Amino acid sequence: AQKITQTQPGMFVQEKEAVTLDCTYDTSDPSYGLFWYKQPSSGEMIFLIYQGSYDQQNATEGRYSLNFQKARKSANLVISASQLGDSAMYFCAMREFLMDSSYKLIFGSGTRLLVRP
């Protein structure tokens, strides 16, 4: 069975500094996709970044980048130049296919990030 592990329940970072949120995964499938979502206190899930298992380069999206280490089965999210609005819950997730190209996301337990002014 596929599994996502996030070992940091909570993190602090100073405004304008970079922070790394850890994510490790377990799967026996050679082809897989990894996602990071942000969930503010308002509750919606905001897609941040995606990494495919066959992607040659680490994904980047603005201030977000993914430190993808396939051999170690880790996909850590790096947020550069933290802003107060980055304070939120962050979830790492893996895709598991279901019927007819639909799929479910298997989520980790999340990391709550607090940005200090």
**Binding interface with other proteins (CB under 8 A):** 33, 35, 37, 42-47, 50, 52, 89, 91, 95, 98-105, 107-110
21 within 8 A of 9, measured Cβ to Cβ: no
Q: Which is nearer to other proteins, 60 or 109 (CB)?
A: 109
Q: Which is nearer to other proteins, 104 or 116 (CB)?
A: 104
C-beta atoms surrounding 17 within 10 Å: 12
Nearest distance, CB of residue 103 and other proteins, angstroms: 7
How far is the C-alpha of 34 from the C-alpha of 54, rounded, in Å?
11
| Tokens matching residue 10 | 């909570």
Query: What is the maximal distance between C-alpha atoms in the chain?
Result: 47
Nearest distance, CB of residue 20 and other proteins, angstroms: 20
Q: Which is nearer to other proteins, 71 or 98 (CB)?
A: 98
Nearest distance, CB of residue 68 and other proteins, angstroms: 14
| Tokens matching residue 33 | 């996709």
Tell me how far CA of residue 19 lies from CA of 3, 30, 49, 81, 104, in angstroms.
23, 29, 15, 8, 28
Nearest distance, CB of residue 50 and other proteins, angstroms: 4
